[in-house]
Each structure stands twice: as structure tokens, then as C-alpha cells.
């Protein structure tokens, strides 16, 4: 009977050690959705591009060189008086 009790006690000790920590349950955290905020400067770039286009159209096409008009020579100084 002692052998039976010893084997029963050994089996109880071994089986309880196997389940000592209990089952491991891993809970997944819910996914956090991060939404990027809309940029407040979304209107600046189109306005700047529009201003550049308006300036390019308003400035015109100045590919031709400007006509040059010769400047007249300055008048000669008066002759010194004869003594």
C-alpha cells in the first residue's frame, strides 16, 4: 500500500507542477487607427502658383531687345575769349 500511495503522491506532485502557471491566454490589443490631420496650408500652394502664372502672363513676352537710340554728343564748351 505504501508503494501505491507513494506513486499516487508522486503523480499528483508531477501533474500539479505541470499546470502550476495555468493556461497562458494572450489578449490582442485593439488596433489603434491614427488619422493624419488635414494640413491647414492646403490653400497656400495653389494661390502662390496662381500668382506666379498671373505675373508671367502680365509681364508679357520681352524676347525682342529694346531699341537703342544714340544719344547726342554733349555741346562743345565755348571758345575762350581772344585778348
> pLDDT (tens digit, 9 = 90+) per residue, 41-65?
678 888 999 999 998 888 876 666 6
Question: Is residue 28 pLDDT above 70, yes or no?
Answer: yes
pLDDT of 3 strictly over 60: yes
Its pTM stands at 0.32
Q: What angle do CA 49, 55, 58 make, to 5 degrees?
A: 140
pLDDT score at 19: 60
Buried b (16+ CB within 10 A) or exposed e, 61-74: eeeeeeeeeeeeee
Q: What is the pLDDT of residue 52?
A: 92
Distance of CA 83 to the CA centre of its chain: 88
Which residue did the predictor score with more confidence, 82 or 21? 82
Distance set, CA 47 to CA 2, 25, 50, 57, 60 (Å): 96, 57, 5, 15, 20
Amino acid at each position: 500500500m505504501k508503494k501505491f500511495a507513494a506513486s499516487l503522491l508522486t503523480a499528483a506532485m508531477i501533474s500539479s507542477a505541470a499546470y502550476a502557471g495555468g493556461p497562458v491566454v494572450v489578449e490582442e490589443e485593439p488596433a489603434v487607427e491614427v488619422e493624419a490631420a488635414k494640413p491647414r496650408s492646403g490653400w497656400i500652394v495653389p494661390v502662390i502658383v496662381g500668382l506666379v502664372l498671373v505675373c508671367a502672363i502680365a509681364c508679357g513676352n520681352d524676347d525682342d531687345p529694346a531699341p537703342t537710340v544714340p544719344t547726342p554728343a554733349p555741346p562743345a564748351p565755348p571758345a575762350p575769349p581772344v585778348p
